[in-house]
Amino acid sequence: MPSDAFVEKLNEQIGHEFAAHQQYIAIAVHYDAETLPRLAAFFYAQALEERNHAMMMVQYLVDQDVDATVPGVVAPQSEFDDVVTPVALALEQEKRVTQQINALAGVAREQGDYSSEQFMQWFIKEQIEEVATMSDLLRIVERARDNPLLAEEYLAREQLGEGGTDPTAPPVAGGAL
């Protein structure tokens, strides 16, 4: 059985992952409306990853036979002044999630909950990749501030953040989308 303290924190994290999903959808829709389809596609895909993170956590709790609650989320930011602001917001979000994930691993360790500590290892690795990808994208859009089509061309050329399927990823409740 996972520790109560860990279960409580992981249920909170499910909410943070769904909030990240909503935020990335809002960013994708913003870029779509600005006719920047590559930036939109990047964030639609990123949103799906966040949704899958949440559902991996749901699956873990279900497998451990403890309560998984699906919390509501606060509305994401959906108005942006320029091409850079959404990516800066996304990078801040990924850094915040990294702290949350590390804190979760810390709670599991403190509680002597080794299964949960091991479960968090994949997310620790994932956060390193997501922060790195978003930092790269921020540099790209900063260079393209006055001409967003440069960012579009870059994304059309380079496979930014597309890692393909990861066989080490935890199972997703209901199957990965």
Binding site for Fe ion (CB under 5 A): 17, 50, 53, 130
How near is the Cβ of 117 to Fe ion at its closest, in Å? 18
Please say which residue, 50 or 117, places its beta carbon nearer to Fe ion. Answer: 50
Q: How far is CA 73 from CA 15, 17, 37, 175, in A?
A: 6, 9, 26, 22
Contact 2, 113 (CB under 8 A): yes
How near is the Cβ of 130 to Fe ion at its closest, in Å? 4
How near is the Cβ of 112 to Fe ion at its closest, in Å? 26
How near is the Cβ of 106 to Fe ion at its closest, in Å? 18
Please say which residue, 17 or 113, places its beta carbon nearer to Fe ion. Answer: 17
Query: 76: how many CB neighbours lie within 10 A of its CB?
Result: 17
Spatial separation of the C-alpha atoms in residues 163 and 147, rounded to whole Å? 27
Please say which residue, 50 or 152, places its beta carbon nearer to Fe ion. Answer: 50
Using N-to-C axis directions, what is the helix angle for 114-143 and 148-157, rounded to 10°?
Answer: 130
Q: Comparing C-alpha atoms, which of 27, 28, 49, 47 is closest to residue 37?
A: 28
3-state secondary structure 1-33: CCCHHHHHHHHHHHHHHHHHHHHHHHHHHHHHH
Residue reference for tokens 């540099």: 139
Q: Which residue is nearest to Fe ion (CB)?
A: 53
Please say which residue, 4 or 12, places its beta carbon nearer to Fe ion. Answer: 12
How near is the Cβ of 146 to Fe ion at its closest, in Å? 28
Please say which residue, 88 or 150, places its beta carbon nearer to Fe ion. Answer: 88
